[in-house]
């Protein structure tokens, strides 16, 4: 075990038990995903983006309730928007929901977000980004953090100008994904920018982008001086990657372990989202879990074609009967539903992440 990645660190008064942060990912980081990430070693988990406009106007289709369970903490809830007052009100509401940290997305490159002035667009409007940060920091008592990209255009260094201004406005930590918005997820993350940002600010910096292994995480932490790393796509349907990054444990799960984790995930997603929404939401996860040579490819297609989540669970038990005792153990460890805080009618974004 590498001591550094298992060391705790702080965002303001919030202690984070490991140096791996599970990234906010739209359409992925529901509560079931976050709780699983915490079990496998993520020190901090983040919700997907929540639209401040949806909170303010209550006119977006409600895609589910935002739940906060006691085994998620510490938890950051991420909001996005371009109006300081609306962002402040959204921050107050997510603090009331139980968030330990309010995170703001200043990096999303998706057109549906940037055309409203939010997301990565704020990298080019430092004045507005600073006013939003000041408003949100003033509105809540929990720490406020910001996730950025390097800038909108390839080669941009906007993050190095904006980062210190956000810290002066009260940001307690910054996450940098050093790709441009134009790059989306192509090319490589330029962590030399992360190292420069670390030198410019006196708050923790989280390094995001291309963190795919324990060795890579160690190298980025050493080269940049960042406080932690953020992992996103590599953890999709693969919580064992989180464990490997934190502990350097290369052990691969058995078929029974994979089936058990997927069964619990399916059941928890159905409870959280409702059967109808969960049935569609889960389809992309089957390939993520069952890939990596864990199950034959046709098996994924078989699961996708099943009508209900109960049918999926039944088929998984049939394929891996030894999963049953693992499922029983995992479910005993889950908190009861009444331990959750519910913030009713909070619309959750379906837009892309940053």
Cα–Cα distances (Å) from 164 to 130, 139, 160, in that order, read 10, 21, 7
Contact residues for 320 (Cβ-Cβ < 8 A; gap 6+): 255, 256, 258, 259, 260
Rounded CA-CA distance 303/297 in Å is: 11
Catalytic site includes residue 108: yes
Question: Of 46, 52, 108, 159, which is the active-site residue?
Answer: 108
Q: Using an 8 Å Cβ cutoff, are 104 and 87 in contact?
A: yes
The residues, any chain, with a CB within 8 Å of residue 37's CB and separated by 6 or more, are 22, 45, 235, 239, 242
CA atoms within 13 A on the CB side of 88: 13
> How would you classify residue 154: left for phi > 0, otherwise alpha for psi between -120 and 50, otherwise beta?
beta
User: Diameter of the chain by CA atoms?
Assistant: 58
> Two tokens at 105?
């997305």
Q: Which two tokens stand for residue 20?
A: 């791996």
Residue 19, token pair as written in the block: 């140096």
Tokens encoding 250: 């290369």
CA distances (Å), origin 169, targets 88, 164, 206, 302: 14, 9, 18, 52
| Cβ within 8 Å of residue 279, ≥6 positions away | 270, 307, 308, 309
Residues taking part in catalysis: 108
């Amino acid at each position: 075990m590498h001591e550094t990645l298992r060391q705790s660190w702080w965002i303001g008064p919030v202690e984070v038990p490991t140096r791996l942060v599970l990234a906010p990912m739209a359409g992925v980081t529901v509560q079931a995903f976050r709780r699983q990430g915490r079990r496998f070693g993520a020190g901090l988990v983040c919700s997907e983006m929540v639209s401040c406009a949806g909170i303010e106007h209550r006119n977006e289709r409600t895609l589910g309730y935002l739940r906060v369970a006691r085994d998620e903490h510490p938890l950051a809830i991420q909001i996005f928007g371009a109006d300081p007052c609306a962002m402040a009100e959204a921050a107050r509401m997510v603090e009331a929901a139980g968030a330990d940290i309010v995170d703001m997305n200043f990096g999303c490159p998706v057109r549906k977000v940037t055309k409203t002035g939010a997301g990565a667009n704020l990298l080019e409007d430092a004045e507005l980004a600073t006013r939003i940060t000041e408003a949100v920091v003033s509105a809540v008592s929990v720490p406020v953090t910001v996730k950025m990209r390097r800038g909108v255009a390839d080669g941009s260094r906007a993050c190095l100008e904006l980062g210190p201004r956000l810290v002066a406005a009260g940001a307690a930590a910054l996450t940098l994904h050093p790709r441009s918005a134009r790059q989306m997820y192509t090319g490589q993350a330029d962590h030399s920018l992360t190292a420069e940002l670390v030198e410019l600010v006196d708050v923790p910096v989280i390094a995001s982008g291309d963190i795919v292994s324990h060795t890579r995480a160690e190298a980025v932490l050493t080269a940049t001086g960042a406080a932690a790393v953020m992992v996103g796509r590599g953890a999709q349907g693969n919580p064992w990657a989180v464990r490997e990054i934190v502990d350097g444990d290369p052990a691969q799960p058995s078929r029974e372990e994979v089936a058990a984790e997927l069964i619990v995930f399916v059941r928890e997603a159905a409870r959280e989202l409702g059967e109808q929404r969960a049935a569609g939401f889960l389809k992309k996860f089957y390939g993520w879990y069952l890939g990596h040579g864990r199950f034959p490819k046709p098996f994924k297609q078989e699961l996708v074609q099943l009508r209900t989540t109960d049918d999926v669970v039944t088929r998984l038990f049939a394929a891996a009967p030894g999963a049953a005792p693992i499922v029983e153990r995992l479910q005993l460890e889950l908190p009861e539903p009444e331990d959750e805080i519910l913030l009713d009618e909070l619309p959750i974004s379906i837009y892309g992440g940053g």
